[in-house]
Each structure stands twice: as structure tokens, then as C-alpha cells.
Amino acid sequence: MGQTDIKARLFVDAPLADGAIIELPSDQMHYLLTVLRLGVGALIAVFNGADGEFAAVISQAAKKQCSITIGAQRREQVYCRDLWLLFAPVKKARLDFIAQKASELGVRVIWPVRTDYCQISRVNDDRLAANAIEAAEQTERLDIAEIWPFTGLDEALASCEDDRLLIWCDEASAGHPSLNITAALAAAPPHDKAAILIGPEGGFSAAERAYLQARNNCLKISLGPRILRADTAAISALSCYQSICGDWQS
């Protein structure tokens, strides 16, 4: 079966194996049958974040029911590099944007963290997860970025293992050529795990700065001469990381 036969690519929350029959939820049924105007016999690709990607055929398309029958495996499961994005959450649309783009850029974990100057008190994890799934469907990604619950920065940093390179995007370092992210990452120690940390609109507090300065395996970096909004900073840092240390090399 050629790539051109595949009319859509969907995440399904079910085990995948040749011959399995899966009933789709109403939103996916609507997407396939009404938005894409597909019918019985149409070929799609499905993945579940764990079993790789499979071909599937729409085997039933009734008024209130749509089932697919799983065919052969197309790709074996692979996972994105062990890269986390820790960030102080921003308001709705820009938060969605961060989750989508971080997922497209291949982070394994999206972790909203509460910092001293963070203005947001609640995060809708389900909404972030929906963004991560949609991004995985579009980008041919086989795993889904995990959404970890909104946590205090100190607790999140305590969970970062000693061998995880922490890339601290520090607005106070903006424009310092010696802290430029590209040079810093090119000279970074070899590592298998990394986390990028982005602060809130108000930046990091003095106490947070002192803690981060003293932390081992923490790379303080500048994202150039301008102060970027948090969402721009996150995408910029992730792009630089993937280009210099990550999977843009492969």
C-alpha cells in the first residue's frame, strides 16, 4: 500500500494488532466521514503511542457508528529524544501554541511549572494533551508528548536527574555573546537527557536565579539581544537544541 492511498492519520486509544476492530469515538467519526467525506473501504493510518503505526480500513460507517479494521504494521514504535520543556504557563491560546509547537519539535515531556512571578493558577491538562495528540497526528510522530501536572519549580527541578542537562533560558543574559545558546549548546557536555526551562512574563525571581546559578549541570543561556515572549522563547530554544544537539542531526 503506497503512502498516497492513506487518507488520514489518527491517534487511537486502543491496542493495535493486525485484524483488530476498533470503534471510533464520535469526533473521529465526524472527522473521517463528514470532514474528509471518506466511506467504507478508505485507508487510513493509525498509531497509539506505543505499538507503532498500522494501516487500517474503514470497515463500518453507519449513522452513529464507525469502525476500522487494523491491517499490517507500517512502522515500528520509536520515541522522541528525552527532552523536557519546563515552562511557566501563559494564557490560553499561547499555552495551546506552546503545547502544539513543543510537540511538533519533538519534546518528550511538556511540564508547566509554577514560578514565583507566574500569573496563572490553573492549567487544563486535557486541553494540553489534545494539542499534543493533534500535533503528533500531523507530524508523523509515533509517540505522544506527555503532559505532566502543573508543579512548583522547586519540585520540578528536584525531579530533574543529575545527568539531565538543564538549559536555563535567562532573560537577564539576553544579548551576552558569551552565553549565546548556539555556542553554549555546541560546547555542552555529551548528554542523553535535557530539559529546557522558560520563565514567566515577569521573569525569574532573585531567589530562583540564585538557586539556578548554584545548580550543577545547569547551562545558563541567552536567546539573543531581544527579550522574547515566553512562547517565542520556548520555540526558539527547542529549535536551537534540536538543530545542535538533537534529532535535526539525524
> Residues in the site for ligand SAM, rule: CB under 6 A?
169-171, 173-174, 198-199, 201-204, 222-224, 226-230, 233
Contact 112, 87 (CB under 8 A): yes
With respect to ligand SAM, which residue has the nearer C-beta, 71 or 199?
199
In 3D space, the residue among 12, 35, 16 whose CA is nearest the CA of residue 24 turns out to be 12
Q: How far is the CB of 169 from ligand SAM (least distance, A)?
A: 4
CA atoms within 13 A on the CB side of 70: 23
In degrees, rounded to 5, the angle at the alpha carbon of residue 240 between the alpha carbons of residues 236 and 242 is 115
Residue tagged 525531579 (cell numbers): 159
Provide the β-strand partners of residue 147.
Answer: 110
Q: How far is the CB of 86 from ligand SAM (least distance, A)?
A: 10
What are the Cα distances from residue 31, in Å, to 55, 74, 89, 245?
17, 22, 30, 37
Provide the 3-class DSSP secondary structure of residue 142: coil
With respect to ligand SAM, which residue has the nearer C-beta, 106 or 199?
199
Q: How far is the CB of 214 from ligand SAM (least distance, A)?
A: 18
With respect to ligand SAM, which residue has the nearer C-beta, 42 or 105?
105
Phi, psi of 102 (to 5 degrees): -65, -40
With respect to ligand SAM, which residue has the nearer C-beta, 139 or 232?
232
DSSP state of 222: B
Q: How far is the CB of 90 from ligand SAM (least distance, A)?
A: 9
Q: How far is the CB of 184 from ligand SAM (least distance, A)?
A: 11
Q: How far is the CB of 18 from ligand SAM (least distance, A)?
A: 47
Between strands 109-114 and 151-152, the pairing is parallel
With respect to ligand SAM, which residue has the nearer C-beta, 47 or 168?
168
With respect to ligand SAM, which residue has the nearer C-beta, 52 or 203?
203
Grid cell locating 233: 522563547
Contact 33, 61 (CB under 8 A): yes
